[in-house]
């Protein structure tokens, strides 16, 4: 099984090369041919441990990796980084089922993929005969940067440089990044907003493509590890008696770039009995409108919300869904061109009907998000973060009559202490760090170890650059033989 560009303008490549390169040269996203998607005999996988389950999924979707090799990589990736060998526990709280994806080193769901991506990338580079060091460049609005730093730290042969907007991340997020340890990591503030940082990174890629790669969800190596937990959650729901093996299970997914929910679609295509995939959005509800009407229109105001990791108007991975469902790269190329030049597109009726047979969509604003956190806490004593609350609210709107729903819980509530405290009506005048302590005192929900004591950890990264100087900054850092102190 080879990977082709969603836009059809680049040669097909092996799964290893797709991971090493990140993005296809025609600007499309490397994706599997829908006719070749492998089916898995999920019934025979129900009693596997997480690493063995992951190895089956990974080797099916990334045929350059054997099952045994994938298992070794998965074990190395998660060892010592997650508290439990079952990486993604399913928690029942009242009637609700929360799939907790945030027990990794940075307390956001991106850890599940970003702990594994470095291992996949290193082996993939070897398979491609690539002997040079790789430099990963990442622009972050908050969560991805820290998860990528933790994932790639001290991985030999790879260095990682993260750019964050100087005034655009929360105090907790900034403290997480500037205190980052590791001999191969650098963090640099950009004097500008997230778009400035992201545009700067894209300019560096254009100017010096050799030896660079990407850690965001345009890389197929980040998507594949996320397919695994759809299987894991299904098996847990059977074990909890919420469904019988073979019955459909619905999943509500707090969505931004459409990566996580697309992993659910892949799981379904591989044979898992998935019911509906519920696309949950905040006030930036471009996907809600798209799934309901078939019109994607980014010409709308951008809202800064309490669930910032979903504040996005261009959901990159939707392009992969359009390709997987239509198999028509010419159509995808023309829709993406229209999105770029006109800011909107409409899909053909048949494709829309196909999308609506698998997905449904709901959105909720900040008031709804806080009301959801308050209700879940009051009714079942479960503390959700703001993103998870958007997913819960969508599951409510979907309705209990439509069968059991797993809500993907994508971050620890301690990453967003101000919004969570106010949602459960606990007053606190201090800074975000004081709020974390207040949240723990009020709820007795334990604070993740990586966030405890963050305020007093030594700052290791103080570099700042203007957007216009990012290329010079990267060139200078790339030329240094080592970043170890």
Ligand X SMILES: *Cc1c(COP(=O)(O)O)cnc(C)c1O
Asked if 101 touches ligand X (CB under 6 A), the answer is: no
The sign of the CA dihedral 394, 400, 401, 404 is: positive
What is the C-alpha separation between 485 and 477, in angstroms, rounded? 14
Rounded to whole angstroms, the Cα distance separating 284 from 296 reads: 12
Instruction: State which of residues 5, 410, 443, 465 lies at the interface with ligand X (CB under 6 A).
Output: 410
Helix, strand, coil percent values for the chain (each to nearest 5)? 50, 15, 35
Nearer to ligand X by Cβ, of 108 and 177: the residue is 108
Q: Does 255 participate in binding ligand X (rule CB under 6 A)?
A: yes
Site residues (CB under 6 A) for ligand X, limited to 131-170: 143
> Nearer Cβ to ligand X, position 109 or 323?
109
223 binds ligand X (CB under 6 A): no
Determine the Cα angle at 440 with ends 98 and 377, to 5°: 40
User: Residue 363 pairs with which residues in a beta bridge?
Assistant: 281
CA distances from 386 to 79, 110, 254, 449 (A): 28, 16, 10, 20
Chosen residue from 110, 122, 159, 242 binding ligand X by CB under 6 A: 110
**Does the protein bind ligand X through residue 218 (CB under 6 A)?**
no
Tokens in use for 108?
A: 């956001």
| Beta carbon nearer to ligand X, 243 or 451 | 451
For residue 104, state whether it binds ligand X (rule: CB under 6 A).
no
Tell me how far the alpha carbon of residue 245 is from its chain's centroid: 28
213 near ligand X (CB under 6 A): no
Residue 309 sits in the site that holds ligand X (CB under 6 A): yes
Tokens of 481: 């033989």
Exactly one of 105, 151, 200, 256 binds ligand X (CB under 6 A); that residue is 256
Whether 110 is catalytic is: yes
- Of 125 and 232, nearer to ligand X (C-beta) is 232
411 is an interface residue for ligand X by CB under 6 A: yes
Task: Tell me how far, at minimum, the Cβ of 70 lies from ligand X, in Å.
Answer: 22
The reply on whether position 217 binds ligand X by CB under 6 A is yes
387 lies in the site for ligand X, by CB under 6 A: yes
End-to-end CA gap in the chain: 43
Total residues binding ligand X (CB under 6 A): 17
CB of 276 to ligand X, least distance (A): 17
Site membership for ligand X, residue 416 (CB under 6 A) = no
Tell me: does residue 252 bind ligand X (CB under 6 A). no
Quote the tokens at residue 147: 């998860």
Q: Is 389 in the site for ligand X (CB under 6 A)?
A: no
Q: From the CB of 109, what's the least distance to ligand X, in Å?
A: 6
Cα–Cα distances (Å) from 74 to 86, 158, 274, in that order, read 12, 18, 25
Which span (105-113, 180-188, 267-275, 435-443) binds ligand X, by CB under 6 A? 105-113
Q: Which of 110, 122, 174, 186 is catalytic?
A: 110
Q: Nearest distance from residue 369's CB to ligand X, in Å? A: 12
Give the position of tokens 């405290």.
421
If one asks whether residue 173 binds ligand X (CB under 6 A), the answer comes out as: no
> Among 257, 285, 370, 396, which residue interacts with ligand X (rule: CB under 6 A)?
257
Asked whether the CA dihedral 276, 277, 283, 287 is positive or negative, the reply is: negative
From candidates 22, 89, 145, 254, binder to ligand X by CB under 6 A: 254
How crowded is residue 84: how many other Cβ atoms within 10 Å of its Cβ?
11
Task: State how far the Cα of 405 lies from the Cα of 247, in Å rounded to an integer.
Answer: 12
Of 5 and 386, nearer to ligand X (C-beta) is 386
Q: Are 254 and 408 in contact (CB under 8 A)?
A: yes
Structure tokens at 91: 């928690």
Give me 188's structure tokens: 């640099």
Q: Determine the Cα–Cα distance for residues 246 and 265; give it in Å rounded to an integer.
A: 17
Catalytic residues: 110
- Positions touching ligand X (CB under 6 A) are 108-110, 143, 217, 254-260, 309-310, 387, 410-411
């Amino acid at each position: 099984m080879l990977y082709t560009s969603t836009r059809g303008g680049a040669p097909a490549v092996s799964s290893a090369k797709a991971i090493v390169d990140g993005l296809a040269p025609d600007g499309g996203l490397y994706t599997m041919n829908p006719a070749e998607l492998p089916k898995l005999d999920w019934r025979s996988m129900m009693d596997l441990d997480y690493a063995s389950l992951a190895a089956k999924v990974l080797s099916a979707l990334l045929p350059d990796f054997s099952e045994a090799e994938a298992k070794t990589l998965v074990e190395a990736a998660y060892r010592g980084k997650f508290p439990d060998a079952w990486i993604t526990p399913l928690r029942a709280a009242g009637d609700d089922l929360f799939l907790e994806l945030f027990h990794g080193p940075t307390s956001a769901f991106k850890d599940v993929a970003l702990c594994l991506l470095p291992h996949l990338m290193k082996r993939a580079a070897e398979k491609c005969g690539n002997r040079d060091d790789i430099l990963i460049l990442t622009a972050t609005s908050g969560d991805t940067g820290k998860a990528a730093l933790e994932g790639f730290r001290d991985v030999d042969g790879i260095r990682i440089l993260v750019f964050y907007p100087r005034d655009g991340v929360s105090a907790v997020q900034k403290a997480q990044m500037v205190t980052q340890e590791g001999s191969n990591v650098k963090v640099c503030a950009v004097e500008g907003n997230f778009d400035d940082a992201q545009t700067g990174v894209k300019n560096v890629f254009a100017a010096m493509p050799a030896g660079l790669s990407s850690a965001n969800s345009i890389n197929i190596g980040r998507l594949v590890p996320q397919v695994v937990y759809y299987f894991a959650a299904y098996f847990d729901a059977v074990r909890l008696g919420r469904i019988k093996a073979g019955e459909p299970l619905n999943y509500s997914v707090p969505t931004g770039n459409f990566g996580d929910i697309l992993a659910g679609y892949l799981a379904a295509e591989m044979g898992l009995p998935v019911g509906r995939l519920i696309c949950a959005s905040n006030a930036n509800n471009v996907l809600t409108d798209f799934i309901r009407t078939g019109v994607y229109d980014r010409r709308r105001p951008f809202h800064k919300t309490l669930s910032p990791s979903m504040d996005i108007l261009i959901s990159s991975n939707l392009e992969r869904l359009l390709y997987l469902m239509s198999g028509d790269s010419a159509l995808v190329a023309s829709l993406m061109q229209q999105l770029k030049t006109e800011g909107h597109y409409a899909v053909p009726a048949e494709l829309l009907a196909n999308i609506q047979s698998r997905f449904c969509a709901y959105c909720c604003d900040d008031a709804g998000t806080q009301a959801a956190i308050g209700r879940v806490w009051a009714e079942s004593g479960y503390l959700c973060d703001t993103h998870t609350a958007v997913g819960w609210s969508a599951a409510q709107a979907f309705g209990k009559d439509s069968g059991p729903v797993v809500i993907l819980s994508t971050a620890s509530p301690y990453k967003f202490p101000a919004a969570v405290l106010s949602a459960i009506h606990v007053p606190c005048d201090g800074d975000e760090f004081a709020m974390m302590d207040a949240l723990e005192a009020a709820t007795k929900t334990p604070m993740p170890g990586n966030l405890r004591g963050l305020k007093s950890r030594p700052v290791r990264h103080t570099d700042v650059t203007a957007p216009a100087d990012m290329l010079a900054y990267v060139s200078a850092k790339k030329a240094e033989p080592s970043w170890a102190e």
